[in-house]
Structure 1
Amino acid sequence: MTNVAGPSWDLSTEYLSPSDPAIDADLATLTSLLDQIEEKNQTLTPLVTSSEPLDSASRDLAVATARDIYVLANDARKYLANPSTYASCVLSVESNHEQAKLLSGRLTKYRVRFSELMQPSRLFLDLSDDDVIASYLAEPPVSESEWAVNHSRKRRHELLSLNEENLVSALSQDGIHAWGRLYTELSGKLRCLVAADNEQREVGIAEAAALMQSTSDRTREDAWQAINRAWTDHEDSCAAAINALAGWRLEMCKRRSQVETVHFLDTPAHASHIERQTLDAIMQVAAESKPMARRAAKAMARAYGKSRYGPWDNRAPAPEMPSAESSFPFTKGLEVISQAYGEVDSSMGEFVDMMASKQWIEGTIGPHKRPGAYCTSFAKSKTPRVYMTYGGSMSDITVLAHELGHAFHHWVMKDLPDAQRSYGMSLAETASTFGETLVRDAVLQTATTPQQALSVAWEEMSAIVSFLLNIPTRFEFEKNFYEAREARPLLPAELRKLMSDAWTSWYGDALSEPDELFWISKLHFFISGISFYNFPYLFGYLFSQSIYQRRTSMGDEFFNRYSGLLRDTGRMSAEDLAHEHLDGDLTTPEFWQETVNALEDRVTHFEALCDEVCA
């Protein structure tokens, strides 16, 4: 039997182990840099906290000192981020790795200290007059941070005093972030009983989730139920965690509302580099697109010989059919992606091959792997890594194409200054979902039978259902939860109902039953660093579709314009990016509706394939 699983990644180019002396050396360098920042703060802090207007000499001194701190902080971030990324990568593959846990815990004090030491600079950048900031940004290397500084200043009305900001930073490590770490550790250790070969087998959550990519409807449903049973035993703990996460953020909104009211959606929208008006336009169009997306879900159910879509069908592959491949070894899946990427430009295909040859992809199956997939990068070497559990399905190829899109986005920006390489959450999903579409369409063009065409088009329908129904379901739940949480913490039963109502609202009569425990099993609700990590996927999907739909009309200019757009994601808002590169207005429903309208033909084509193949 062919082994379909993916390879293990190589992290040795960064460190040999969590106890590598090189980590100690990096942390020693970090400590030296932080000491220098602390010394500079002795000059800057009195200047930024002074209640008296600064004279010309004091302002010049503040500008010069802040510039020095900028240079020191850029270096410090690398020496802090590198071991942090390494520890996270090790724990993703082996959640019980004791040395990696110790390293992760050890890094906490450095994160707290760095955050506290940067508060005076943050106050200087956010509270200084425009002419002072213009002077600060007038010379390199600080001038490279102009867009980031001005974007941050949009929220300067939210700032607390220096002492209060330091207190928030210190308390957050054992406060909001501790709840996030609790969930992450729990998800890595959780075990569940699944049915396999007529026997009950104990597996980790990631392995159980992989079974939800089976072509057996019974296996998928059993795995879904097994995961929910495992989480049910920890329902009270997870309810406490999600209530604490939301409670912390809501309290911070109140504390930061001294000048003007801060809404809980303001922070994620700002972090995504989009306006609230753009978010409203996207959700309006998604709501109006429910009938089309539900048709896609019903057609997928019909392909499995049933009338309604189940919550265990979110990652279901196309049903097994004659003349349609059902399992793809990793090397085959990678080849499919490389060829599809290469059709846009040869450099994109070469990039995929490089990721594999350098062993920058983790795709093994293991009992202690954490669920999910992601792309990360090492700050010192500026090299990306892709993490997933590859099981050989077409869905796995899509996930791999998605994460390699993230990696390519990182790669085309690697030569830019660090201040221009941080893009918003929504824009972060642009290259990834573009990569998915590339691969799906490339494989569809090679289909020689209706059965093969249906197997490939299935992935397109899966994307439409995921992005236009599942993602809005998550958004509606989280929004309704935060609104209710403003009054008091919610009980597990209330969280179940909110989740159930959201599923029903979006899936409607296409759904067999709601997943009332999705609020526990979905990792994104428990990420402590960000909230509402759902609408960025919808934005990224539709935005990338809009880009993809322009591929033909742009002709030979497309790749240069596409890569140029990606390079600008860290130095433009999403609205400015669309105006500059696509001549579009993201704040209007019309932009998004035009993109969704182009998906209608894909749904109709899939329904016709189902009628032909599944009759």
Structure 2
Amino acid sequence: MNQIKYQKRWDLESLFMGGSDSASFLLHIKQLENKISEWEVMIFPTLKTVDDAYEIAEILGFIGEVRAELSQASSFITCLLAQNTTDQQAQLLRGQISTLQARYDVVIQQIQNNLVKIKPDLWTKLLETEELKGFKYILTKWREHSEAQLSSEAQKLYSALSLDGYHGWGQLYQSFISTIKVKVKLGESEKEFSVGQAINLRSHHDEAVRKEAHFALEVKWDETKDHFAKILNHIAGFRLQVYQNRGLKNVLEEPLMKNRIKPETLDTMWSAVSKAKEPFISYLNQKAKIQGTPKMRSYNFWAPMSVVNKEIRFEEAVGDIIEQFSSFGPELEALTKRAVAENWIEAENRVNKSPIAFCASFPMSGESRIFMTFGGSMGNVLTLAHELGHAYHNHAMGSVNGLNKQYPMSIAETASTFCELIFLDAAIQKAQSDEEKLTLLDEKLKRSVMNFMNIHSRFIFEKRFYEEREQGIVSSERLNQLMKESINDGYCSSVDHSSIHSWIWTPHFYNTKEPFYNFPYTFGYLFALSIYAKWKEVGAEFEKDFINLLRDSGSMSTEDLVMKHLGEDITLTSFWEKGIQICLKDVEEFNMISNFINR
């Protein structure tokens, strides 16, 4: 039988032909600039009656259109720079897009300020009109948050300074870390790797290679830590200054608003997670015992359970993912087949690629692009399944108005995590031996530990870092110390040889668009587990309900979304415990099988 051959390189030409020298992309930028220029001089209409609702609807439609065009352009630049970090022309184009984004943000601020001036009684009536009821949530939030916004003049200054300052530091981080090369000894030879390739070695079957790669990276981070500390401090300093000018009392106010969740929801989630860590410590100890060490060593965490060095071919991974996704529903299966057939996936293992996997949305063409480095491990397969889940979410939002397409990060990891669960649980069910089942349970539990312990440690670190940054610059040595303490707290001191430089190679700390991009992962993970349990109850018809949930994710608060589609109150501990219980059963099964095999 002939084996199906899948491309490992994506197709960007169908989006804009010519790469960073694309004439069609330059035309797209020019047209976008003209629209924003026209918008900047537009006079906001004086609204007197509910009959004027259509004028607001026209403005909102225009906002959605421009947002989609900006997203299309930004995603294209992100893809160009990810596939080739040395693309200087793409760097220049990113600067142009950043400028247009800043101008767009200023206009949005002005529109919000004008909407706030509408009298409350008229405002209430306007939101109930046929033209505006679909935008009720986002318009209400604009009005509620207006007091925490900068003035129009301050917003213009912020946008201008953020290009070369705030966002500039974030872009410098991406460029800097993408150019770093790491030399790792492999037996008698030494080979040079990109950061992404070196990190992939943590799942190598040979402990000597994992250990060598871990410490080679640590040496490299120690050499560059002062540069990264400067970048992180400047990003945080800029953010804190803006918060102060907006009257925000603490650094969690903005991320909570962005994620559309209440403070009590976040507190309840972390409280439930903290109470459930003991079983995961037992899993880490059990795995360490199997590996012949008294305690889990961080460079062994991603190690495969099997001693057999089985490299998974890309074709095999894609075929298995399609097969498992088909068990959920026809739309997920069709979307995955389309992604493969139309070459949406960049998976080639080569140098000069970014180390960060992602899925980019292209709303104007109704497509996505998936970026990763496929090295043949089960972790790589799950990354591919994860990013295809993001593409599925983008697909679900296809018919939604541009203004309601922007869903919070608390929901952004839901479809991706759900797709990982589909693949893993199906593979576990099909396992033909205890050894194979143990390996797959291990892969699943790694993700539980990442969300219960690693993400928690990131949250703890970022919170403590910002508290200290308010008092002044935080040195690289102090950042190392904060990271070490946070990891010990997040993991309950259950891991040795942790990377005290995690604050360097965790890109989320340098994200200038999404502060505290850590807790949304744990939220999305536990939320996905609850949805997964719901699917098992409902059966084959559940895909329609899931798509409806994803479709609503940009137009509701997170609490209301979960209540509408799952009938659950996420401010209660009981909601979080349902997802946690699924994870605890995995621990019990892992420990039972491993004890049986190794007795």
Which category of TM-score, normalised to the shorter sequence, fits these structures? over 0.9
* Corresponding residue for residue 250 of structure 1: 240
1:312 aligns with 2:299: yes
Q: Indicate the residue corresponding to 1:26 in structure 2.
A: 28
Q: Check conservation: 1:426, 1:539, Cα contact below 8 A.
A: yes
SS at match of 1:195: strand
- For residues 476 and 358 of structure 1, what CA distance do their matches in structure 2 show? 41
Query: What is the Cα deviation at residue 281 of structure 1?
Result: 0.7
Q: Cα offset for 1:138?
A: 5.6
Deviation at 1:13, TM superposition (A): 1.3
What is the CA deviation profile of residues 246-291 of structure 1, one whole-angstrom value per residue up to 9, with x for unaligned ones? 122222221111xxx5321111112112111111111101111111
How is 1:236-275 mapped onto 2 (pairs within 5 angstroms)?
A: 236-257=226-247, 261-275=248-262
Q: Deviations over 1:466-524 (max 9, x none)?
A: 11111101111111111111111111111111100011112234212332111111111
Q: Give the conservation status (yes or no) of the 8 Å contact 2:68–2:364.
A: yes
Indicate conservation of the 8 Å contact 1:5/1:364, yes or no: no
Give the 3 Å change call, closer, same or farther, for CA 3–173 of structure 1 in structure 2.
Answer: farther
Residue 292 of structure 1: aligned partner? 279
- The whole-number CA distance in structure 1 between the counterparts of 2:87 and 2:484 is 36
Letter in 2 for 1:553: E
How far has the Cα of 1:111 moved from its partner? 2.1
Cα distance change of structure 1 residues 147 and 314 upon mapping to structure 2, 3 Å threshold:
farther
The structure-2 alpha-carbon separation of the partners of 1:21 and 1:601, relative to structure 1 and needing over 3 Å to count, comes to same
Gaps of 5+ in 2: none
Q: 74-83 or 397-406: which moved more?
A: 74-83
The alignment status of 1:212 with 2:199, answered yes or no, reads no
The alpha carbon displacement at 1:299 in A equals 2.5
Aligned equivalent of 1:179: 169
Distance 2:185 2:7 in 1: 24
Report whether the alignment pairs 1:36 with 2:3: no
Is 1:410 aligned to residue 400 of structure 2?
Answer: no
Indicate if the aligned counterparts of 1:180 and 1:528 stay in contact, CA closer than 8 A. Answer: yes
Q: Does 1:499 align with 2:483?
A: yes
Q: Are the equivalent residues in 1 in contact too, given 2:106–2:152 (CA < 8 A)?
A: no
Q: d(CA) in 2 for partners of 1:79 and 1:430?
A: 25
- Between stretches 386-395 and 74-83, larger displacement belongs to 74-83
1:425 is aligned to 2:412: no
1:196 maps to which residue? 186
8 A contact 1:70–1:142 mirrored in 2? no
1:5–1:365 CA contact under 8 A, matched in 2: no
Answer whether contact 2:393 2:415 (CA < 8 A) is retained: yes
Post-superposition shift, 1:446?
1.1
Which of 262, 267, 270 lines up with 1:280 in the alignment?
A: 267
**How much has 1:560 moved relative to structure 2?**
2.2
**How far apart, CA to CA, are the structure 2 residues paired with 1:314 and 1:382?**
38
Quote the Cα distance in structure 1 between the aligned partners of 2:109 and 2:283.
49
- AA aligned to 1:11 is L
Report deviation, 1:134: 4.1
Q: Is residue 374 of structure 2 the alignment partner of residue 384 of structure 1?
A: no
Are 1:10 and 2:3 an aligned pair? no
The amino acid across from 1:28 in the alignment is: K
Instruction: Please tell me the residue identity of whatever aligns with 2:191.
Output: R
Matches of 2:400 and 2:62 in 1, distance apart?
A: 18
Per-residue CA deviations over 1:288-318 (Å, capped at 9, x if unaligned) read 1111121222223233232322222453333
Name the aligned partner's letter for residue 255 of structure 1.
Answer: N
Segments of 5+ residues of structure 1 without an aligned counterpart are 48-53
Distance in 2 between residues matched to 1:314 and 1:173, nearest whole Å:
39
Cα separation, partners in 2 of 1:442 and 1:538, compared to 1, 3 Å:
same
Aligned to 1:50: none
Query: 1:483 is matched with which residue: 464, 467, 471?
Result: 467
- Within the candidate set 149, 171, 184, 1:159 is matched to 149
Q: How high is the sequence identity, in percent, across the aligned residues?
A: 28
Equivalent position SS for 1:359: coil
Which TM-score applies when normalising by structure 1?
0.92
For the residue of structure 1 that corresponds to 2:190, the secondary structure is: strand
Match of 1:146 in 2: 136
Q: 1:129 to 1:234 in 2, by over 3 A?
A: farther
Deviation at 1:526, TM superposition (A): 0.8
Matched ranges for 1:206-605 at <5 A: 206-257=196-247, 261-321=248-308, 326-605=310-589
Would the alpha carbon gap of residues 130 and 392 (structure 1) be closer, same or farther in structure 2, given more than 3 Å must change?
A: farther
Give the Cα separation in 1 of the matches to 2:519 and 2:315: 33
Partner of 1:476: helix, strand, or coil?
helix
Deviates more, 1:180-189 or 1:481-490: 481-490
Q: Is the 8 A contact 1:127 1:156 kept in 2?
A: no
Q: 1:64 Cα deviation (Å)? A: 6.9
1:83-118: CA deviation from partner (whole Å, max 9, x where unpaired): 221111011011001221221123232222222233
Distance 2:404 2:301 in 1: 35
| Deviation for aligned residue 1:571 | 1.5
Which is further off, 505-514 or 332-341? 505-514
State the one-letter code of the partner of 2:91: K
For 2:522, the aligned partner's letter is L
- 1:51 aligns to what? none
Taking the aligned partners of 2:279 and 2:118, their CA distance within structure 1 comes to 50
Distance 1:132 1:388 in 2: 50
Q: Secondary structure at the match of 2:516?
A: coil
Provide Cα deviations, 1:452-471, integer angstroms capped at 9, x if missing partner: 11111111111111111111
Matched, 1:117 2:119: no
> Which amino acid in structure 2 is aligned with residue 345 of structure 1?
G
Distance 1:431 1:256 in 2: 33
User: Does the C-alpha gap of structure 1 residues 242 and 407 become closer, same or farther in structure 2, counting only changes over 3 Å?
Assistant: same
Q: Is the 8 A contact 1:328 1:394 kept in 2?
A: yes
* Aligned CA distance change for structure 1 residues 173 and 291 (closer, same or farther; 3 Å): same
The 1:140–1:308 alpha-carbon spacing in structure 2 relative to 1, beyond 3 Å, is same
* TM-score, scaled relative to structure 2: 0.94
Go from structure 1 to structure 2 and tell me whether the alpha carbon gap of 1:6 and 1:272 turns closer, same or farther (over 3 Å shift): farther
* SS of residue matched to 1:365: coil
Counterpart residue type for residue 25 of structure 2? I
CA contact (8 A) 2:6 2:340 kept: no
